[in-house]
Amino acid sequence: ILVFALGCGIVVPILYFGIQLLAAPFFPDYSFLSMEASLLGSDMAIYPAIFNIGAITTGIVTIIASVGFLLALQHLGTNPFLALLTSLAVLLNGFGSLWAGFFPMPDPRHGSNPFAVGIFLFPILLTFSLWNRSNARPIKIYLIITNLLFIALIPIMSGVSGINTQGYQGLLQRIAVLVFFVPISVGSYFLIQHTKNLSFSEGTKRDSKKTA
């Protein structure tokens, strides 16, 4: 169950972008540069179900991944509260994808997704969850960079920076998704590798005790 659930986490960003590639040919003159992903599921698309079913599928896969994060972090001895919060952030991310699929544009509920907070919190929560692990230096560096990119994106996407983003909304959204979704994949891979190593180490110790 653990490896399967974390395997689901690895494919989350692949699903997110792959579904867009499948849906884009059925949207006349779609631009990845200027148009947001959600338009592919709107009534402007020829077959909006491609994107919307894909979003729901991504949500289900992400929810399964949240179980993997909880089990793996507990297995590694992470603070139980941090492990719970981190997996909850992944769970909310999954609910957010479900929401986007069930309430596609132009439904006014689409833009008021109540689960979006999970997307923003996950990278920082995973950083704290792995902070005390001496064998997690590469992923901690990656997560620090990710959180810094998130901070840098806030003034740009909110318009406070004064940078004209007109015509680049689609690009900015996809950059933001790379910042928030890819850590789910990277974190899942890290946890698969290190829970395997821990299990192998524990098994070796048990075998040595039996031999003794």
- Provide the pLDDT confidence category of residue 1 given band limits of 50, 70 and 90: confident
Q: What is the pLDDT of residues 45-72, one digit of tens each?
A: 999 999 999 999 999 999 999 999 999 9
Q: What is the pLDDT of residues 158-185, one digit of tens each?
A: 778 788 888 889 999 999 999 989 999 9
What does the mean pLDDT of the chain come to?
Answer: 90
How many helices (H) and strands (E) the chain has is answered by: 6, 0
Residue 181's pLDDT is what? 93
Closest CA to 54 of 69, 32, 68, 37: 37
| pLDDT higher than 70, residue 151 | yes
Distance, CA of 18 to CA of 50 (rounded, Å): 11
Task: Classify 146 as helix, strand or coil.
Answer: helix
Residue 197's pLDDT is what? 65
Distance, CA of 34 to CA of 13 (rounded, Å): 20
- Provide the pLDDT confidence category of residue 116 given band limits of 50, 70 and 90: confident
Residue 165's pLDDT is what? 81
| pLDDT higher than 80, residue 196 | no
Give me the mean pLDDT over the 196-209 stretch.
Answer: 50
Question: Hey, what are 2's tokens?
Answer: 């653990």
Task: Classify 138 as helix, strand or coil.
Answer: helix
